[in-house]
């Protein structure tokens, strides 16, 4: 199976780079399944039902989110009716939506997506490791599902790395989101699970993690006149990870970063 996971989509620039590039990427890479993290898609904060539909029309199969999932109030009433939009799985019981989903892929294959959120320097949530363990008690890679993809939305690299090692050999890929900077540690762990600490963002890198520079810098300078944070609007870079799995075992055959457009160096899977 061939999968592409696109990092945090930030504002209009991020949405544009997804819509302009994803259809050709699906063809060029012969993709079977595409994920994107959309929690910053609506002017940098949250996501709307309309944006979800735009992503699906562009070729995204599943949208993950994170701590900004509730920033647009209209998503609260919407999320229960959209099985392809996931919120973090370790929110308290009774929270709207779902953080786990099994989705169909070409050839009768089934993809399990797990979306834990970290606890270090993040909103209060339940244990992400326990939540993932419970979900894996209901599904087994290479048996009940053909591929298992994990988006661990977390602030610290250590918590993401720990999740990767914890799940090695039991899932197809563990990738981190939230910090918006692509890390250079893309690799296959000893047990056969693909890993990258952070995917980076789909957004304008002539910015401070996707936000206009002046206001972001002003906040660090305690400048009360700096204004509110708004997404940068220049040409965006699409940051993602490409994954190819073995259909029998569900483990990784190949993993590579993909970056195109904008200010970062172009990088393609070989």
What is the pTM assigned to this prediction? 0.97
Q: What is the pLDDT of residue 252?
A: 98
What letter would DSSP give residue 206?
S
For 12-27, how does the pLDDT look when each residue is reduced to its tens digit (9 = 90+)?
999 999 999 999 999 9
- Residues belonging to the active site: 68
pLDDT band at 195 (very low <50, low <70, confident <90, very high): very high
Convert 124-158 to b/e letters by CB count within 10 Å (16 or more is b): ebbebbebbeebbeebebbeebbbbbbbbbbbbee
Query: What are the backbone angles phi and psi of residue 90, rounded to the nearest 5°?
Result: -105, 25
Q: What is the pLDDT of residue 224?
A: 80
Average pLDDT, the chain: 97
For 17-72, how does the pLDDT look when each residue is reduced to its tens digit (9 = 90+)?
999 999 999 999 999 999 999 999 999 999 999 999 999 999 999 999 999 999 99
CA dist., res. 49 & res. 213, Å (int): 28
CA distances 62 to 14, 37, 103, Å, are 16, 9, 8
CA dist., res. 256 & res. 173, Å (int): 12
pLDDT band at 226 (very low <50, low <70, confident <90, very high): confident
Q: Are strands 187-188 and 173-177 parallel, antiparallel or unpaired?
A: unpaired
CA atoms lying within 13 Å on the CB side of residue 185: 15
For 128-141, how does the pLDDT look when each residue is reduced to its tens digit (9 = 90+)?
999 999 999 999 99
Fold of 2-260: Purple Acid Phosphatase; chain A, domain 2 (3.60.21)
Arithmetic mean of pLDDT, 110-138: 97
CA dist., res. 114 & res. 101, Å (int): 7
């Amino acid at each position: 199976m061939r999968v592409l996971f696109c990092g945090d989509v930030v504002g209009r620039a991020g949405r544009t780079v997804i819509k302009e590039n994803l259809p050709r990427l699906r063809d060029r890479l012969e993709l079977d399944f595409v994920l994107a993290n959309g929690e910053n898609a609506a002017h940098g904060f949250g996501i709307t039902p309309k944006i979800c539909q735009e992503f699906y029309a562009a070729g995204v199969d599943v949208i993950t989110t994170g701590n900004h999932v509730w920033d647009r109030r209209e998503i609260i009433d919407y999320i229960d009716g959209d099985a392809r939009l996931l919120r973090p799985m370790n929110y308290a019981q009774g929270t709207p939506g779902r953080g786990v989903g099994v989705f169909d892929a070409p050839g009768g294959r089934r993809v399990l997506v797990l979306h834990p959120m970290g606890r270090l320097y993040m909103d209060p949530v339940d244990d992400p490791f326990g939540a993932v363990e419970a979900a894996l008690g209901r599904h087994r890679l290479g048996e009940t599902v053909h591929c298992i993809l994990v988006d661990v939305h977390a602030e610290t690299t250590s918590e993401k790395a720990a999740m990767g090692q914890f799940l090695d050999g039991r899932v197809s890929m563990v990738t981190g989101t939230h910090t918006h900077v692509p890390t250079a540690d893309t690799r296959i762990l000893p047990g056969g699970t693909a890993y990258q600490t952070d995917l980076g963002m789909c957004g304008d890198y002539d910015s401070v993690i996707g936000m206009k520079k002046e206001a972001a810098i002003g906040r660090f300078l305690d400048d009360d006149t700096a204004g509110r944070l708004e997404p940068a609007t220049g040409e965006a870079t699409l940051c993602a990870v490409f994954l190819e799995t073995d259909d029998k075992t569900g483990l990784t055959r190949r993993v590579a970063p993909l970056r195109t457009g904008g200010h970062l160096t172009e990088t393609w899977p070989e």
